């Protein structure tokens, strides 16, 4: 992620709500897509201080009431109380339970970052209030009598609140032998399922099947049962981005999609730091991958220097590279009013 500038000249970050230098209120403006200083006009109205913008704004309700957001809403949207990201929430955690507010804030921070990145990649986000694309919705739930599975079905992404508990998440990571397990990673993976429904099934199914296999044979349920009984395919490193990707073509797609978003996010971040030479033509996938590999080697060494997990643990074999290229080409797709397939429910 790029960094932003306050009117006082100090650096602002994507998640900033105020400037640590001049103490001004700051926030994400949906019009110029910058985190900027906000000038108070009256009790409820603010103005974006990005000189090229000047949009009049109000604060997202989740920001005012819970400090769970740093976004704003254009004043021209009088009926909108929540920002473009918070309005996608269907279910939020029970905030009367101790600890849940902190966990929910972490989920919202990861969700905002990932959705902003998806928009920067030119991919559409289905707005539930308009009937344009498959509406995207989120629910953050806790286990009760029935355990909550993190997953996606027909545009609804469910995340188990426990994933926001870093101790439990690390425990799960070790248990499943995963190189990384993060909230950002969960959102990227589940969005992969969402974009499969929205962009791949209606118009790229044959090309998908050639690269990832037939998603109907074996069925998802059979593939899932086989994976949990026998583990990943023994030669998964030669064909898949991760062990989990070898379970079923849908999971292969979601894992590859997440890896593609990792790549564009990390290379874009590098591009915003002039010390790192990461300028690549936007459409040149091979140049993006080359930059990512170079930055990945460097970042992994930084991480190893202080004993952190690798930033880029994946190996990009030939087939995986073609799968990532497939994701790159998805940006060219624009579908209107796709039918919700209702066929896929996957985790």
Binding site for Zn ion (CB under 5 A): 6, 8, 10, 19, 21-22, 29, 31-32, 48, 50, 53, 55, 60, 62, 69, 71, 83, 86, 251, 254, 346-347
**From the CB of 233, what's the least distance to Zn ion, in Å?**
16
Q: Which is nearer to Zn ion, 69 or 136 (CB)?
A: 69
Cα 330 to chain centroid, rounded: 16
Q: Which is nearer to Zn ion, 69 or 134 (CB)?
A: 69
| The two structure tokens encoding residue 40 | 């108070």
Using CA atoms, how far residue 20 sits from 11, 102, 187, in Å, is: 9, 21, 29
Q: Which is nearer to Zn ion, 98 or 175 (CB)?
A: 175
**From the CB of 47, what's the least distance to Zn ion, in Å?**
9
> Taking a C-beta distance cutoff of 8 angstroms, is the pair 320, 258 a contact?
no
SS3 161: helix
SS3 85: coil
Q: Which is nearer to Zn ion, 32 or 287 (CB)?
A: 32
CA dihedral of residues 171, 175, 180, 184 (deg, nearest 10) = -60
Peptide bond between residue 218 and the one before it cis (omega within 30 degrees of 0):
yes
Q: Which is nearer to Zn ion, 19 or 183 (CB)?
A: 19
**From the CB of 189, what's the least distance to Zn ion, in Å?**
6
**From the CB of 53, what's the least distance to Zn ion, in Å?**
3
**From the CB of 174, what's the least distance to Zn ion, in Å?**
20
Q: Which is nearer to Zn ion, 60 or 320 (CB)?
A: 60
DSSP state of 25: B
**From the CB of 52, what's the least distance to Zn ion, in Å?**
8
Those residues whose C-beta lies under 8 Å from the C-beta of residue 211, and which sit 6 or more positions away, are: 319, 322, 323, 326
SS3 27: strand
């Amino acid at each position: 992620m790029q960094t932003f500038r306050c009117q006082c000249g100090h650096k602002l970050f994507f998640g900033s709500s105020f400037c640590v230098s001049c103490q001004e209120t700051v926030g994400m403006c949906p019009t110029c897509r910058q985190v900027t200083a906000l000038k108070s006009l009256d009790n409820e109205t603010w103005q974006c201080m990005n000189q090229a913008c000047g949009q009049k704004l109000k604060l997202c309700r989740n920001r005012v009431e819970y400090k769970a957001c740093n976004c704003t809403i254009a004043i021209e949207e009088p009926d909108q109380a929540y920002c473009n990201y918070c309005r996608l929430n269907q279910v939020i955690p029970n905030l009367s339970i101790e600890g849940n507010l902190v966990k929910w804030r972490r989920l919202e921070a990861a969700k905002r970052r990932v959705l902003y990145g998806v928009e920067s990649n030119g991919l559409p986000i289905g707005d539930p209030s308009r009937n344009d694309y498959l509406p995207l919705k989120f629910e953050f739930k806790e286990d009760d009598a029935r355990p909550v599975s993190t997953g996606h079905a027909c545009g609804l992404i469910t995340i188990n609140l426990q994933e926001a508990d870093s101790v439990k998440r690390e425990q799960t990571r070790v248990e499943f032998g995963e190189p990384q397990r993060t909230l950002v990673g969960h959102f990227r993976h589940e969005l992969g399922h969402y974009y499969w429904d929205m962009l791949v099934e209606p118009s790229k199914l044959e090309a998908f099947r050639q690269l990832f296999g037939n998603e109907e044979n074996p069925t998802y349920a059979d593939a899932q049962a086989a994976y949990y009984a026998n583990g990943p395919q023994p030669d998964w490193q030669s064909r898949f981005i991760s062990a989990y990707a070898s379970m079923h073509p849908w999971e292969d797609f979601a894992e590859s999609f997440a890896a593609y978003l990792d790549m564009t996010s990390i290379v874009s971040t590098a591009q915003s730091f002039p010390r790192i030479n990461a300028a690549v033509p936007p459409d040149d996938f091979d140049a993006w991958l080359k930059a990512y590999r170079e930055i990945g080697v460097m970042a992994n060494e930084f991480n190893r220097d202080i004993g952190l997990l690798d930033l880029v643990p994946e190996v990009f074999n030939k087939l995986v590279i073609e799968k990532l290229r497939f994701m790159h080409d998805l940006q060219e797709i624009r579908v209107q009013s796709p039918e919700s397939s209702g066929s896929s429910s996957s985790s």
